[in-house]
Structure 1
Amino acid sequence: MASTADPCDLDAYLARIAHDRPLRVDAACLADLHEAHQAAIPFENLDVLLGRPIRLDLASVQEKLIHARRGGYCFEHATLFKAALEQVGFHCRLLAARVLVGAPTTPRARTHALLEVDTPQGQYLADVGFGGAGPLHPLPLLPGLVSHQPGSAHRLRHEGGLWVLEGDVGAGWSDLYAFTLEAQLPIDIEMANHFVSTHPSSVFRQIVTAQRVRRTRRAVLRGSTLEVRVNCHSETREINAEEELLPLLAQEFGLVFPPGTRFTAQV
């Protein structure tokens, strides 16, 4: 994870996300950075399937997500976004959440990372690493306030000491994840990252996934199914052959791999 001795290369980050607007420590700038980050850097688990370790030190995350123009999953996104925001001047706290998608019958571990960010306009939930169902913009940390964003809506509720993020990206409201405001230490995230990237039951060891959120287009590849949502219109197609995968990753997600690359998960 980032430290004051290991600063973010802010110029390289801003070039990667194509952000050239003035930087200010306020809610509007936070929203600009949040949207630009997701539009440029996809959510993906492909290194896990290639048997490569997921390293969370800032140098490794910057090399992968910025210089190699790859994506990553929540721990990598949160590491990079937190470091960039702190370089701008924001104060952030790293939080952990239990994913609720799919209405699990038994509690899941806290395997999702997100941020609480202070602004002069109040505290915000910032999450650039939840993939296709995540919010395009940060949400004020206020219960019941619906944030309408292009192609989606999100809101928070507060119950029993937990905050729950709900989302609607076209199929009605559903619970996405639950979290508290307890700040996480780097070792907490390292432990969660180890489980997600190595445990046989982790979904990220089982299927290919690549997801990208833009203002009018959300693309989600899970296994052999690609769903593309443009505004309120959704189309789904099946990837029927392995040779279709690499061109799709390049064209839809900006992820380029050498010809012949094969992932452990079959599509």
Structure 2
Amino acid sequence: MARLRPEHESRLHRGHPLQARGELGQVLRQEGSRLRLQHRRLPRVRADLLPVEARVRPDPRDRRSQPDRLPQQWRQSGHLARHRRLRHPLRRHARLPPPGRTADGRRHQGGQVLPGLPRPRRGALRPGRGRGPVRSAQTGGRLGREGQGPRDHRRLHLHRRIPRPVPLPPEIPLQRHRRPSPSHQLHLPVSLDIGRTLERLGIDGPVGPDLVSLRRLHHAWATAVTYENLDIQLGRPVSLAPEALADKIITRRRGGFCYEQNYAFAVMLGAVGFEVSIIEAAVDRELRGESAWRNHMQLLVTVDGETWLCDVGLMDGFLSPIRLRPGKHVEGRQTYSLVQVGDDVWRLHHRPGGAFITCDLRSGPLTIEDFTEVCAWRATAPESIFVQTLLVARTDIDEAVILRSRTLTRTGPAVSGGKVQRVLIDADDLAAVLTKEFALPLAGLDLDALWERAVQQHEIWLAAG
């Protein structure tokens, strides 16, 4: 029987096919099967852990084992063990053409060409097809052509056209959107803690950034914190600093007008963990025009992917947050409706007989600095309604009580006839109304000065007819 020669065995180890006939071929096939089976049974050992004499030397005729012939940027340890061959050709380097010219240097013929972006020639194919110019990442952002030398297949997915920046025409303005006011910037100051705030609102138990807590907090704030502008009537400055708001609303148990209340409420929600955005609003924009924007501030709160409208500074407004989508919002026997009148503009229709008719809101987020100037103007300008009229308001589920100068008005389904009014008699009557109807402390308030202002405003209103 023919025996297997040593050179045959070495060639079988390397996996080279042998063409043999007759008995020698049968021996070779049997021996090859035995060697392959033995090879599968042997444990796999890393080549770098074997002694030098035991390592298999590569075939010098195999181009895959000659890294010196590969480009320098392709040399990588272990790449021959992972990849059997290089499938794609190398891209030759070519610099980008100047603006207004094609890759072959010709000028553009016809059609509008954006500056800085070469116009592709007619019939140009996608990257990876034909001989069209494509951009290669490994060539430093330069153009190349296919079919000219080997190419690293490991970078094939990067061989896509990357357009150069194209400046916009001057007639197309850039739209810069303000970034939302992040909730972590609405942190509570050291002088205001959650425990005291919840005690001020009459809430027992823990709260968290969920819809149930949002409804509890909104309803408690709207019913416990009084809407009032007494500091403005007394000529005192209004501050939107969180420390000042905490001292006024939490410590001294006072109230405030829309900017003070809604920003203080946003600060509290941010401390609880809610995602809060400050937005601009316009009360009765249909009557006052576009100048009404930012005469009011509102909040958008995101809970579980849904956006909710919050407002605790709207005099006799809603008590629970409203989902930001078209539809009706029912509270007890009161009905509000929300409609979308623009891309990011919504309109809230107030309940019949309320203090206002509509309130428009823009969903683009702003910061408190965007309201600092308008808040100062409305607190000091003689033309401001907050300077001209003493305003105090409290809202419940079926009743709203509003004091304008000397006139006390009750409205709502719980009121007989839907509306009841009376005129205050003197300063003592004013003090009683502030404490009993609106739960406001009288400490630090000049009642005589407030009564004098209320009388003057009432006379002006009567003279106007």
TM norm structure 2: 0.53
Q: Is the 8 A contact 1:150 1:216 kept in 2?
A: yes
Deviates more, 1:14-23 or 1:196-205: 14-23
Q: Give the letter aligned to residue 366 of structure 2.
A: Q
Cα 1:155/1:16, change in 2 over 3 Å: same
The whole-number CA distance in structure 1 between the counterparts of 2:285 and 2:435 is 27
> What aligned pairs does 1:240-259 form with structure 2 within 5 A after superposition?
240-258=425-443
Matched, 1:69 2:69: no
The correspondence of residues 61-210 of structure 1 with structure 2, limited to 5 A, is: 61-100=245-284, 103-104=287-288, 107-120=291-304, 122-132=306-316, 134-143=317-326, 145-161=327-343, 162-168=345-351, 170-171=352-353, 175-210=357-392
Q: What is the distance in 2 between the residues matched to 1:17 and 1:186?
A: 24
CA contact (8 A) 1:139 1:155 kept: no
Question: 2:226 aligned with 1:39, yes or no?
Answer: no
Change (3 A) 1:119 1:69: same
Are the counterparts in 1 of residues 282 and 359 from structure 2 also a CA contact under 8 Å? yes
Q: Determine which of 51, 54, 59 is the counterpart of 2:238.
A: 54
Whether contact under 8 Å (2:427, 2:448) holds in the other structure is no
Aligned residues: 264
Q: CA deviation at 1:158?
A: 0.7
Asked if the contact 2:399/2:414 (under 8 Å) is kept, the reply is no
Higher relative contact order, structure no. (Cα contacts within 8 Å, ≥ 6 residues apart): 1
Q: Decide whether the 8 Å contact of 2:187 with 2:270 is kept in 1.
A: no
**Corresponding position: 1:265 with 2:447:** no
In structure 1, distance between residues paired with 2:328 and 2:241: 35
Aligned-partner SS, 2:302: strand
Counterpart-to-counterpart distance in 2, 1:112 and 1:105: 14
Aligned counterpart for 2:402 among listed residues 220, 237, 255:
220
**1:15 aligned onto 2:199:** yes
The answer (yes or no) to whether the contact 2:186–2:266 under 8 Å persists in 1 is: no
**C-alpha distance in 1, partners of 2:263/2:206?**
22
Classify 1:240/1:164 alpha carbon distance in 2 versus 1 (closer, same or farther; 3 Å): same
Paired amino acid for 1:251: K
Distance 1:260 1:154, change over 3 A: closer
SS of equivalent residue, structure 2 residue 240? coil
Amino-acid identity (%): 27
Instruction: Verify the 8 A CA contact 2:186 2:271 in the aligned structure 1.
Output: no
* Matched-pair contact (CA < 8 Å) for 1:56–1:79: yes
Whole-Å Cα distance in 2 between the matches of residues 174 and 230 of structure 1?
14
Q: Which runs of 4+ in 1 moved over 6 A?
A: none
Normalised by the length of structure 1, the TM-score is 0.90
Deviation of 1:3 after TM superposition, in Å, equals 4.2
Letter in 1 for 2:309: L
Which of the two has greater strand per residue? 1
Structure showing greater radius of gyration is 2
Secondary structure, in 3 states, of the residue corresponding to 1:137? coil
**Partner-residue secondary structure (3-state), 2:363:** coil
SS in 2 for 1:25: coil
C-alpha distance after superposition, 1:226-267 (max 9, x if no partner): 112354423221223333211111111011225744226323
Larger deviation, residues 76-85 vs 101-110 = 101-110
- Residue 5 to residue 260, structure 1, CA distance change in 2 (3 Å): closer
Amino acid paired to 2:411: R
**1:194, 1:110 → 2: CA distance?**
12
Distance change in 2, residues 1:173/1:195 (3 Å): closer
Cα deviation digits, residues 69-88 of structure 1 (max 9, x gap): 10101111112111111111
CA contact (8 A) 1:152 1:167 kept: no
- Counterpart-to-counterpart distance in 2, 1:181 and 1:55: 25
Counterpart mapping for 1:223-238 below 5 A: 223-229=405-411, 231-233=413-415, 234-238=419-423
Letter in 2 for 1:239: L
Describe the superposition over 1:150-205 as per-residue Cα deviations: whole angstroms up to 9, x where unpaired.
Answer: 2421121111331111111x438974211111111221111121111011111000
Q: Which runs of 5+ in 2 are unaligned?
A: 1-180, 456-465
Cα distance change, pair 237–101 in 1 and its aligned pair in 2 (3 A): farther
- 1:217 Cα deviation after fit: 3.1
